[in-house]
Amino acid sequence: PVEHGGYLIPRNAVQHNRPLHVPLLGSVNQMGNAADGEQWYMDACYMLWRITGETRYKKAMDACRFTAHEYTQIDSSDRFFRQSRTELTPYTDGIAYQFSYPSDA
């Protein structure tokens, strides 16, 4: 709850959802975490390259493909599940599956 220190995130505001939904109050550089947008742009570049044959679209597609591949490497050397003694479920990776309000809520 906001009255207990939580956030009310405005519509379309930059936010991060792991482990909790929190606003990102920094610069516009925090808006660059859109793997799906990268894939859509790559698809558009591919279609433009196939239609026009221009190498600039092929280069743009290859750059997007590199970035999309980098997304697949996130946490590749990490374990997907980590043991937690504070959660009711034995394994988690920073995701809270239960919640509770402060006692005076």
Q: Is residue 65 part of a domain?
A: yes
Residues 43 and 68 in one domain: yes
Backbone angles phi, psi at 63, to 5 degrees: -65, -40
> Residue 68's domain spans which residues?
34-74
Q: Is residue 105 part of a domain?
A: no
Q: Is residue 53 part of a domain?
A: yes
SS3 state of residue 15: strand
Residues 42 and 18 in one domain: no
- pTM metric for this prediction: 0.46
Residues 17 and 4 in one domain: yes
Q: Provide the number of structural domains found in the chain.
A: 2
CB-count burial class (<10 Å; 0-12, 13-18, 19+) for 81: exposed
Residues 23 and 4 in one domain: yes
Q: What is the pLDDT of residues 81-98, one digit of tens each?
A: 555 566 666 555 555 556
SS3 state of residue 4: helix
Q: What is the mean pLDDT of residues 65-75?
A: 80
